[in-house]
């Protein structure tokens, strides 16, 4: 019998909270990935939740307790879904820009819809050209997921030891074929990089530029929303 607070139960409770954008039945791997069909976010999180252990489930909840709204399990899973399914279809800079917008706006529905539409458009263009899908190793997708989670959930903060442990558990739960050892290596490396960057304290001018960048991201989000509405 499933625990009331298990992650599998959590996924079924939230699965209806976001609009399902063209559910496609065929799933080509546990993590998702690019193939004949695309896996939408609702189906992706169903599959992750189904195979999560109690330890995995608790890690997602503990991460939210530590990171607040930005560490919501849905945000973490969206950050994993984009590289897992969108690798080869989405540009890395677009994925990271979306993660930065989500951290500010908390508009996960918009990001889900926008990115799934982008994936479908890219796939249609590839199909018309009859070009083969690139073979992108799952380890690289997991590494990009980690980078996306960092942008969304940490901003520029340090990755503390407890955060490292939780990230290792969560990423291994999603990208099980990569292996725990490799997941641990990439998380440890990312934590070191974050610490090195933090040592370079920003000047007052750089902080001002950071605030301006934040405002530009909000304006970009509003512009994207207006364009999306105009085509409906």
Distance CA 193, CA 143 (A): 14
The answer to whether 46 touches 15, Cβ cutoff 8 Å, is: yes
What are the distances in angstroms from CA 96 to CA 78, 92, 200?
12, 6, 22
Q: Where are the beta strands (DSSP E) in 82-226?
A: none
Distance CA 177, CA 59 (A): 19
What does the pLDDT profile of the chain (232 residues) look like in tens digits? 334 455 555 544 444 343 333 332 333 344 444 345 799 999 999 999 999 999 999 999 999 999 999 999 999 999 999 999 999 999 999 999 999 999 999 999 999 999 999 999 999 999 998 888 888 999 999 999 999 999 999 998 999 999 999 999 999 999 999 999 999 999 999 999 999 988 775 554 455 445 555 556 555 656 555 655 544 5
């Amino acid at each position: 019998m499933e625990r009331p607070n298990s992650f599998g139960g959590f996924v079924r409770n939230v699965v209806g909270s976001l609009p399902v954008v063209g559910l496609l039945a065929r799933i080509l791997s546990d993590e998702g990935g690019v193939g004949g069909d695309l896996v939408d976010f609702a189906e992706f999180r169903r599959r992750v939740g189904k195979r999560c252990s109690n330890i995995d489930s608790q890690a997602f909840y503990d991460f939210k307790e530590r990171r607040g709204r930005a560490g919501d399990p849905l945000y973490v899973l969206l950050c994993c879904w984009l590289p897992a399914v969108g690798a080869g279809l989405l540009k890395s800079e677009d994925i990271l820009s979306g993660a930065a917008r989500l951290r500010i706006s908390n508009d996960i529905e918009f990001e889900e819809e926008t990115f799934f539409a982008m994936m479908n458009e890219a796939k249609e263009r590839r199909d018309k050209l009859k070009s083969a899908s690139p073979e992108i190793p799952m380890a690289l997708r997991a590494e990009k997921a980690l980078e996306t989670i960092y942008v969304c959930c940490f901003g520029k903060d340090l990755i503390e030891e407890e955060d490292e442990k939780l990230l290792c558990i969560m990423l291994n739960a999603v990208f099980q074929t990569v292996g725990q050892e490799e997941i641990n290596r990439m998380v440890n490396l990312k934590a070191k990089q974050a610490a090195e960057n933090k040592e370079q304290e920003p000047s007052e001018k750089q902080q001002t530029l950071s605030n301006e960048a934040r405002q530009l991201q909000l304006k970009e989000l509003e512009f994207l929303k207006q364009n999306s509405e105009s085509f409906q």
